[in-house]
Amino acid sequence: MRDEGVIHTTSLIRDILNALWIIIGIYIIATSVDAFFTTKNTWLFVQRVIFYPSIFMIITIGIIEICLRKIKNHLEYILILGINIIASAIILTLYEKPILIFLLIFPVMVSLYFYKSKLLKFACITGILSGVFIYVFSEQVRAHFKHSDLIIMIAVIFGTSLLINSLMKHSHRLANDLLQTTKEKQYLFSQNIQMEKLTRMDPVTELYNHRSFHEYLETLLKMELIDELEVHIAILDIDNFKKINDTYGHQMGDLVIVEVAKQIKSFMDNDDFAFRYGGEEFAIINIGLTTEEFLEKMENIRLGISSVCMEELEGNCVTISAGIQKLLPAMSKDILFNGADTSLYIAKKSGKNKVIVNSVQQAVVGAY
């Protein structure tokens, strides 16, 4: 955050310096045009009004440019001081124009861009001191300025500073209110996400729930060119789960479900989506793998689960059975699901602890 603030300040100072270069250019052009109409000695006018002041202002901005490249801290204070010096140089050069004393307001106005109260105070004090210094030490300025001009200049700089300070305080309040509102919105958004997550996630296994399974499958089947993708679903069921509940209690049954979910998640890749379908049943949707590759993945899941034996089950291991169905052209969601469910049924009836792939090679048109 500190680095970002320095970058922002440096960029702002860069823009202000560009404006100062333009102002010097305007000064040179304006005074050069005035040289054709002056009643004074033209050569002295060019020297004292155009050449020397311009060189002085260019050197001043050049020093600020060097500071911009070499110094990282307090650049804004150096800028305000530099603008004061340039304004003072113009006032001393064009001393016959009393109105130019109000150029000392510009550093105060520039300080507004940085929204720093200390910088505003610095600009106000240096502006007033510059005006007083010019009036006290320049006889030429005193000859054309009245005491009232100095008093009005001080009052205007001080009054402008108070106005800008009030504006900054109001802006800070608005910014704080906006920040607070943003935080509240972020909190509500976070709460909504959490609520949405609760409606889509199973709290026990932290897998997607039954509702999410059907919503995702419906969305998937509505995709264009879905028939060109390799899509498979698998339905998994914990073997002998009722016996586990009856023998060791429902709390143990929940622990088994959590362990099975943990094993399933450990085999999931970016193109896999795992769900707790309900009770001791789970579902997996995969996009991209061939039937052989998906079967291998499911076998790995089955073996991974069967290798974990729990002390709470007196050293017995949990096993699962699973059925796989590939999405075929024109296959509806119900047929796709029923195909996997039928394969699961066959796995259960033929000994359990196995994965069966539905051998149907084409969708049954019109079947539901």
Residue 179 has a pLDDT of 83
**CATH number of the domain residue 221 falls in:** 3.30.70.270
- Indicate whether 169 and 43 sit together in one domain: yes
- Indicate whether 168 and 245 sit together in one domain: no
Residue 38 has a pLDDT of 85
Residue 355 has a pLDDT of 95
- Indicate whether 278 and 154 sit together in one domain: no
- Indicate whether 81 and 121 sit together in one domain: yes
- Indicate whether 164 and 219 sit together in one domain: no
- Indicate whether 338 and 216 sit together in one domain: yes
- Indicate whether 134 and 21 sit together in one domain: yes
**Containing structural domain, residue 275:** 210-357
- Indicate whether 72 and 136 sit together in one domain: yes
Residue 1 has a pLDDT of 45
The number of distinct structural domains making up the chain is: 2
- Indicate whether 155 and 252 sit together in one domain: no
Residue 365 lies in a domain: no
- Indicate whether 69 and 11 sit together in one domain: yes
Residue 367 lies in a domain: no
- Indicate whether 86 and 216 sit together in one domain: no
d(CA 29, CA 65): 23
- Indicate whether 171 and 215 sit together in one domain: no
Residue 156 lies in a domain: yes
Residue 5 has a pLDDT of 54
Residue 4 has a pLDDT of 53
| pLDDT tens by residue, the chain, 368 residues | 445 556 678 888 999 999 999 999 999 999 999 988 888 888 999 999 999 999 999 999 999 999 988 887 888 999 999 999 999 999 999 988 888 888 999 999 999 888 888 999 999 999 999 999 998 888 888 888 888 888 998 999 999 999 988 988 888 888 888 888 877 777 766 666 566 666 788 889 989 999 999 988 998 888 878 878 899 999 999 999 999 988 889 899 999 999 999 999 999 988 899 999 999 999 999 998 999 999 999 999 999 999 888 888 887 889 999 999 999 988 899 999 999 999 999 999 999 999 999 976 554 433 33
